Amino acid sequence: MERLGPYDLHAHTTISDGKLSPTELVRLAKAQDLKALAITDHDTVEGVAEAKGEADGLSLEIVAGVEVSAHFGDAPVHILGLFVDELDPELNNFFVQAKRRRVDRVRLMCHKLRKLGLDIDADAVFAKSSHGTVGRPHVAEVLIESGQAADIPDAFGRFLGDGGPAYVGYEKVTLDNAIDLIRRAGGIASLAHPGLLVDDTPIPDMAAGGLHALEVYHCDHTSEKIARYERLVEELGLLRTGGSDFHRQLGDDPPRLGCSELTEEAFEKLRAAAQ
C-alpha cells in the first residue's frame, strides 16, 4: 500500500462528523507512521485533549485544530484553524454558541422533512453525535438507515443540499470573524478545500483580508487545481497546508491518512507562523 505522507492537517473524529473517535484516529495515524496529525473537527476543539492523551509518549505530534464554518460575502467557506490553543476561553465560548445553533438547525431541518412526508425524529439525529456537533450528514444518515434515501448524495440532492426543500441556513460567521478568532487563539487560518468552492476567484481578496494559508493539497483536488493553488500561494505570499479531510473509511478500501505533498519544510513554516 502506497504511503500517503507523514503529515495530515485535516481530519475529523466522532466529536463532529467523523466515524473514528480521537483515540481511534490517533491509533490509525500511528499505525500509518504519521509524524503529525491535526484534529480539525467542525466548530469544536473538544476532541483535541483526548487525542493528545492517546499520543502521549508516541512519536506523533497532535496539532490542535478546528474547521470553522464561515462566509465570505454570500459564499460559504470553511476555515481551518491550525496550532490553536484548545483551552482558549474565547474560542471555546464561541463554539458553545455554535453548538446551540447547530442543534436548533437540525430540529428545523427535521421539521421541514416531516412536512415533506418523511418520517424522521430529531433525537435519532442527535444520537449520531453524542457531543452535539450535529449537521446535515447526520440527518442524511438517519434518512439512509430508514430507507428514505439511498445514500449521502441522494439525501443532499433531494432534500438537504443548499436550496433544497429541507435546507436550513444558519447565522453567518464572516471570514474576518473566523480569522480573528483563530489568530486570537494563537493559530493560523487556512482556507479549506478551495477546489470545492463554486467560485475560487475571490482567494486574492481573502488573502488581502488576512487569510494566512491555503489548503493546496486535498483529496478532491485535481492536479490542475493543485498547480493553480501552488501558483497562488507563491503570488499571494500564503503558506500551504494539506490533509486527507478524513471522515470515514470509503467502501472496502482501508482508511487512509496523510498528505504526500506536504513537506516537513512547509509544516515547520506553519508552526513558526503560529508562534
Q: What is the span of the domain harbouring residue 16?
A: 7-94+187-274
| Residue 234 and residue 207 in contact, taking contact as beta carbons nearer than 8 Å | no
Q: Is residue 180 in some structural domain?
A: no
pLDDT bucket at 260, cuts 50 / 70 / 90: confident
* Arithmetic mean of pLDDT, 216-238: 95
| Residue 102 and residue 76 in contact, taking contact as beta carbons nearer than 8 Å | no
* Arithmetic mean of pLDDT, 94-103: 87
pLDDT at residue 3 greater than cutoff 60: no
pLDDT bucket at 132, cuts 50 / 70 / 90: low
Q: Is residue 173 in some structural domain?
A: no
Q: Is residue 206 in some structural domain?
A: yes
* Arithmetic mean of pLDDT, 178-196: 97
What is the tally of structural domains in the chain? 1
The grid coordinates listed for 22 are 480521537
Q: Tell me, what's the pLDDT at 170?
A: 73
% of the chain residues with pLDDT over 90: 78
pLDDT tens sequence across 23-60 = 999 999 999 999 999 999 999 999 999 999 999 999 99
pLDDT at residue 171 greater than cutoff 90: no
Query: Cβ contacts of residue 271 below 8 Å, gap of 6+?
Result: 83
pLDDT at residue 175 greater than cutoff 50: yes
Write the CATH number for 79: 3.20.20.140
Q: What's the pTM?
A: 0.82
Q: Is residue 176 in some structural domain?
A: no
pLDDT bucket at 128, cuts 50 / 70 / 90: confident
CA gap 164, 168 in Å, rounded = 9
Q: Is residue 135 in some structural domain?
A: no
Rounded to the nearest angstrom, the gap between the alpha carbon of residue 1 and the centroid of all alpha carbons in its chain is 26
pLDDT at residue 4 greater than cutoff 60: no
% of the chain residues with pLDDT over 70: 95
Q: Is residue 169 in some structural domain?
A: no
pLDDT bucket at 111, cuts 50 / 70 / 90: very high
Q: Is residue 53 in some structural domain?
A: yes
SS3 182: helix
Element (H, E) at 67: strand 61-72
Q: Is residue 100 in some structural domain?
A: no
